[in-house]
Amino acid sequence: MPPAFPERAAWGTASSLRAWQQQALETYFSPAHDSGPRDFLTVATPGAGKTTFALRLAKELIDRRIVHAITVVCPTEHLKRQWAESAARVGIKIDPEFTNSQGKLGKEFQGVAVTYATVAARPALHRNRTEMQKTLVIMDEVHHAGDGLSWGDAIREAFEPAARRLGLSGTPFRTDINPIPFVQYEEGPDGIRRSRADYTYGYGPALADGVVRPVIFLAYAGEMRWRTRAGDELTAALGEPLTQDQTAQAWRAALDPKGDWIRQVIAAADRRLTEVRRGVPDAGGLVIATDHEAARAYAKMIRSVCGQGATVVLSDDPTASKKIKQFSESQDRWMVAVRMVSEGVDIPRLAVGVYATSTATPLFFAQAVGRFVRSRRRGETASVFLPSVPVLMGHAAEMEAERDHVLDRPQREGDGLDDDLLKEANRQQDTPDVGEELPFETVEASATFDRVLYDGGEFGTQAAPGSVEEEEYLGIPGLLEPEQVTALLRRRQAEQLAAQRRRKTGDPVEDRRADRTAAEDLHELRGQLNGLVGAWSHRTGKPHGVIHNELRNACGGPRVAQATAEDLTRRIAKIREWAAKRR
C-alpha cells in the first residue's frame, strides 16, 4: 500500500483510518484490480464511517490522476452540505449549491454534491459533465438510484461514462425488483439473483471493533383506555397479546400527548440522559415524532421535565439543516424531529432516543436507530426507548440481520423494506397514521417499565415509573464495554428477581423455588414468551397464533393463559432452540 495510508488500527480517528476502512481500500486496490475497479459497492453499518472511507478513496484516486473530478449523489439537501464540509477537511472542494440551471461548475471546485432528484430531472446535463472530465461518482445510500424505473434509467444515463463509481449503503436494500444501477447481481443455487457487495462491514463486527456503540433498548408497556367515535370505551395493555387493531389503537393512545404514557417515557429518557452525561458530558437526546402537532407537544413536555427547551426540526422547515448543525455543535439536551431521521440527521453526540413514531418499517427503524450508534470513543452506549409492541420488539431483536437486494422473486405485501414506504415514512405529516381509520379519543394512558433488550437477551421485569427497579436500569453507566453491559444487566435482573422472592416470602435469605409459580412470575414468563414469539414472527413471517400452536405441539400443555410456569419455561427454551438453529 502507498504511504498515504496510515498505520492500521482497530480504533481510528479522523487522521487515521479504522481497520475496516483500510481493509476496504486494500480490497479496492488489490492486485486483481491494479488501479481499482470501475464499480465498487461498500455496505457498512450506520456510524461506521462510510463518508471517511469514500473521501479517502477519492483523495487517493485524485492523487494518482485516475480521476480529476468528483460527483457526490445523496438523498437529501442536508446531506449535500455534510458531504461538502467533510470533503473540505481532506482538501477536496465540493460545491453543495450546484443547480441544474447553473450548468457549469466554478473553477475553484473539484466536484459537486447533488441529490438523486436533481440528477433525475436533467440526466443529459450530468452526463455531459461526467464526459468532460474523468469523474468519480459517489452514490450515497445507493438504493435510491433504483427509485422506480425512470430514476434508475436517469442515474444510469447520467453516470454511465464515469471513470469510477462508488456505491455506499448503510441499511437494508430495496425489496422491489428494480435493479439498482451499477450494482452487481449474482445468481444463487436457488436461481435467485442477489446483490453482491465488494466490501461489507456489519453491525456485529463494528461493535466488536468499538466503531459503533452497543444499543440498549428500553421497552415500556402500560394500560391504555380510549373512546371510539361511537362513544364506546375500550381498554388494552401494551406488552400483552392483542389483535392487530388493538395494538394499533393502544400504540396510538400511548403516543398521544394528551395521555401520561409519553410524558412518563420522556421523563425516564431524560433521567437516562442525565446518567449518560456523567461520562459523556455533551450527550444529546432525540425524540422521533410522527407529526408536527405531536412534536411541538413533546417539546413542551421536555421543557417541563428538565427545565430546558428542545430544538424542534420539522420536515417543511427551510431552516432545518441550520437547526440540525447548531444542535450538533451545542451541548443542548434534546431535539425533537418529525420523521426526518433516516437520512438527514447526523449528530455523533446523540446517545439517547425516544421512538415516539407510528412508523414501523424495518428500514425506517434501522435508520432511526442508526442515528444513535456513531461512537466517538470506546465505551459509549446508546439507549433507545420504545413502546412494547411486537413489531418493534422484532426489529430490535433483528437489528444485526444483514440483507442483500433480491431480484427474480415476487414482491411480498407488507415486507416493509421498500423505499416507497421509507419515503412515505419521511414525508411531511400533520396527523398520525396508526389506527387512523378508527378515530378515537384517548381517555387514559399510563406507562410501565417492561424490559430491556440487549445483545439478543431480555432483562428486567415490569416496574412502575420512578420505582427502584426502573432506576436500576436507567442508571446503567454511559461508559461501558459491550460485555460489561451484558454482565451488569444479568446481575441487576438477578438482584431484582431475588428481591421479589424475598418480598413474597418475608424471608430476606431463604429462596423458595415453589414461589416461581406465583401469579407475578407467571406474568413475567408470559411476557417473556410473547416477546420471543413476536421476534420469531418477525423473522419467519408466521402469525403469532400459529407459532403458539407449534410450541404447544412441540412441548405439550394448555394455551398460554392456562399454562403453568413449567409449561411456559419449556416453550421459551424451545423457541430459543429454534432461533439458535436458524442462525
Give pLDDT tens digits for 326-378: 999 999 999 999 865 555 567 889 999 999 998 887 778 888 888 898 888 88
* More reliable by pLDDT, 456 or 434: 456
Q: Which CATH number fits domain 216-408+440-495: 1.10.1370.40, 2.102.10.10, 3.40.50.300, 3.60.15.10?
A: 3.40.50.300
Q: Which residues pair with 199 in a beta bridge?
A: 42
Number of Cβ within 10 Å of residue 175's Cβ equals 20
- The confidence band for 78, taking pLDDT boundaries of 50, 70 and 90, is confident
- Mean pLDDT within 202-216: 84
Q: Is the pLDDT of residue 508 over 70?
A: no
> Which range has the top average pLDDT, 104-108, 250-254, 457-461, 494-498?
250-254
- Cell 452525561, residue? 277
d(CA 475, CA 271): 8
Q: Is the pLDDT of residue 36 over 90?
A: no
Number of Cβ within 10 Å of residue 282's Cβ equals 15
Cell of 388: 412494547
Residue ranges matching CATH 3.40.50.300 in the chain: 216-408+440-495
Residue ranges matching CATH 3.40.50.10810 in the chain: 19-201
Lowest mean pLDDT among 64-68, 204-208, 276-280: 204-208
- What pLDDT score was predicted for residue 423? 46
d(CA 2, CA 213): 31
pTM: 0.71
d(CA 185, CA 200): 15
In the CATH hierarchy, which fold is given to the domain comprising 19-201? Rossmann fold (3.40.50)
28 exposure class (CB count in 10 Å sphere: 0-12, 13-18, 19+): buried
Element (H, E) at 400: none
- What pLDDT score was predicted for residue 533? 80
Q: What is the CA radius of gyration of the chain?
A: 25
d(CA 110, CA 91): 10
The mean of the pLDDT values for the chain is 81
End-to-end CA distance of the chain: 37
Q: Is the pLDDT of residue 579 over 90?
A: no
Cell of 13: 480517528
Report helix angle 77-89 to 320-329, nearest 10. 40
> Which range has the top average pLDDT, 183-192, 317-326, 505-514?
317-326
Q: What is the DSSP letter of 103?
A: -
* More reliable by pLDDT, 367 or 382: 382
d(CA 80, CA 72): 8
Q: Are strands 111-115 and 94-95 parallel, antiparallel or unpaired?
A: parallel
Q: Which residues pair with 444 in a beta bridge?
A: 225
Q: Are 236 and 246 in contact (CB under 8 A)?
A: yes
- What pLDDT score was predicted for residue 96? 94
Q: How many Cα atoms sit within 13 Å of 583 on the Cβ side?
A: 12
